[in-house]
Amino acid sequence: MDTYGAIQLTSVSRACAGGLISVIRRKNAVLRVQHVENPGWPKNQRGFFMPISFMLNKGKVPVKIFTDDVDSGSLTQLGNLSQLPFIHSHIAAMPDVHHGIGATVGSVIPTRGAIIPAAVGVDIGCGMNAVRLSLKAHDLPDNLYSIRTAIEQRVPTGFDEHERPSINGSTLNNMGKHLDVITNKHPSLVKMLKNFHRQWGKQLGTLGGGNHFIELCIDEGDDVWVMLHSGSRGVGNAIGRYFIEKAKKDVGRELGQLPDKDLAYFTEGTQHFDDYVEAVGWAQDYAMVNRREMMRLVLDALQRSKALPAFTTTREAINCHHNYVQKEEHFGAEVYLTRKGAISAQLGQLGIIPGSMGAKSYIVRGLGNAQSFCSCSHGAGRRMSRTEAKRRFNTLDLEAQTKGIECRKDKGVVDEIPGAYKDIDVVMQNQSDLVEVVHTLRQVICVKG
């Protein structure tokens, strides 16, 4: 047994053919390796135990981790989370798991009678959208700069927004009416974002910055895809921050008794619980509409480009969240399932798992694995912080690691260098019991904010 802050861990377990190898780590160093007998968990078709897990002592709920590449910060966060009394069955950590703000990125958290706003986070509804085109690789010009520029001119990136809303009036009006209901209950919410009532409409169909992107990709059959990553922009961030602070106030004196202040929660049946469910649902819908509108703008830019022949889109289109909460049924109970950097992988459900800007990405089909709450990773997962990436790498490294890809190669995106992320191939190997690969994509254009 070892101690991570206030959390005592008994083991970190990695599946093997004969049982479980228990590995205890601290700061990436293995402290002890111990063989554990068959724990009675289900096996996959190859005879291996499916979950990868460590257990907390004192009978707390287990955390089942689908990788042995876990940083100590994540172990502490997951351990803290597992002490809460309303966690149902267990917590699942995906193969791209890494330390995050508020909660561990790559975690799946089932709660009964409560929701933790900081676990959902501030990029509410962040997710992916992908569409396959009728274009083939040979239809693309040798020089892709003009296409990248056309996309950048059509879709605002970074802090930019549309001069006026680009989306149709009825959709905008309906969203506005619902938002008014929320802000009428919580007038202080509008103070969380400058020009709140004007900005949310102008940001529909915009990319943002950080790890958000728009890509043109080619699959194993030389088909061309458009893939993009974004969320609920400034308004979602405002909603997230507002209710995270509201939860801390609601918990009151109990806040100091929580293992982490970011684990402040709303209890079902209270007014603020209902208000949060309504607001987070609105933000998740906003994120979905934002990606749909952005995809429309990208396709319009491509169709107007003189560098490409005429094309159509196929039926294979996917739009999925990876930062969200919703009601689902798992292990005999209806729960509020929070996926913090994880996507739904119900049996037969299509999803998108992007690599870094220089690595492969995947269109996958869910296998409905109950141990992961029918979830899988949302990407490769960061290996290091943005600050550390900027310290370790420079623009020459970025050019080398993104060779052959039409993208920004300046210091403003060095923190998004492929070397700052985990190996997507290893991540995919670790979730072969969660999803199956339908298409493997490689980027040829990447637009960053």
Query: Which residues define the annotated binding site for Mn(2+)?
Result: 123, 212, 229, 322
433 within 8 A of 50, measured Cβ to Cβ: yes
- The strand pairing partners of 446, in sequence order, are 215, 407
Sort 319 into a burial class: Cβ within 10 Å, 0-12 / 13-18 / 19+.
Answer: middle
Annotated binding site for GMP: 211-215, 322-323, 354-357, 361, 378-381, 448
Output phi, psi for 436, to 5 deg. Answer: -120, 145
Whether 272 is catalytic is no
Rounded Cα gap, residues 305 and 299, in angstroms? 10
Residue 343: CA atoms inside 13 Å, Cβ hemisphere, count?
Answer: 30
Annotated binding site: 123, 211-215, 229, 322-323, 354-357, 361, 378-381, 448
Buried b (16+ CB within 10 A) or exposed e, 219-243: beeebbbbbbbbbbbbbbbbbbbbb
- Which one-letter DSSP state was computed for residue 189? G
State the distance between the two ends of the chain, measured CA to CA, in whole angstroms.
Answer: 45
Q: Which of 442, 419, 441, 422 is nearest to 94 (CA)?
A: 422
Q: Name the catalytic one among 88, 98, 272, 378.
A: 378
> Phi, psi at residue 246, to the nearest 5°?
-65, -40
- What is the Cα–Cα distance from 274 to 152, expressed in whole angstroms? 39
Catalytic residues: 378
